[in-house]
Copies of this chain bind each other. A is one copy, B any other.
Amino acid sequence: MSDKSTIIVFSGDLDKAIASFIIATGAAAMGKQVTMFFTFWGLNILRKDQYVPTKKSFLENMFAKMMPRGPEKLGISKMNFGGIGAKMMRYIMRKKNIASLAELMQTAKELDVKIIACAMSMDVLGIKEEELIDGIEYAGVATYLAEADESNHNLFI
């Protein structure tokens, strides 16, 4: 039995991001080698929360401005109501002492979960390396597929 797990994180919604990291950190805690491959809207989870000046085209700038920057800015996939739903979910989780997305991401790092940002999606959305958090890798679909080939647990979220 393989001891690897891969998760493609396509979604940039807070609820799906939380689910991804709960699965990833859980699997890593059980001794699995976990790779998370962030693509399209999922890249927003990896964005630094502060603004990073970069050279962007007009359209890239539009995308960048409209997309959320990091875990604290993400909306939820249902009942978001312009961010109120996401705020409520963050508030409830804090009150119930459930780890926040930022804390889950920190745990993932400590458990050596491999975080890969999809280079092609970064190109499409105009996201530069300096806008993303530190300690991650940049690669394409071939790298993901090589990891997936050795995994018995593959998810697309």
Tell me the A residues contacting B by CB distance below 8 Å: 1, 8, 10, 12, 15-16, 19, 22-23, 26-27, 30, 32, 39-41, 59-60, 62-63, 66-67, 77-79, 88-89, 91-93, 96, 98, 120, 123-124, 126, 141-142, 144-146, 148-157
A41 closest partner in B (C-beta): B78
A141-B59 contact, Cβ under 8 Å, with A98-B124, A154-B153, A155-B154 = no
Whether A152 contacts B155 in the complex (CB less than 8 A), given A40-B19, A93-B124, comes out as no
Chain multiplicity (copies): 3
**Which chain B positions have C-beta within 8 A of A63?**
79, 88
Contacts of A93 in B (CB 8 A): 124
A62 nearest in chain B by CB position:
B88
Interface contact B22-A120, CB-CB below 8 Å: yes
If A10-B19, A12-B78, A120-B22 touch, whether A148 touches B153 (CB-CB below 8 Å) is: yes
A30 touches B152 (CB 8 A): no
Given A10-B19, A93-B124, verify A142-B1 contact (CB < 8 Å).
no
Cβ contact within 8 Å between B123 and A98: yes
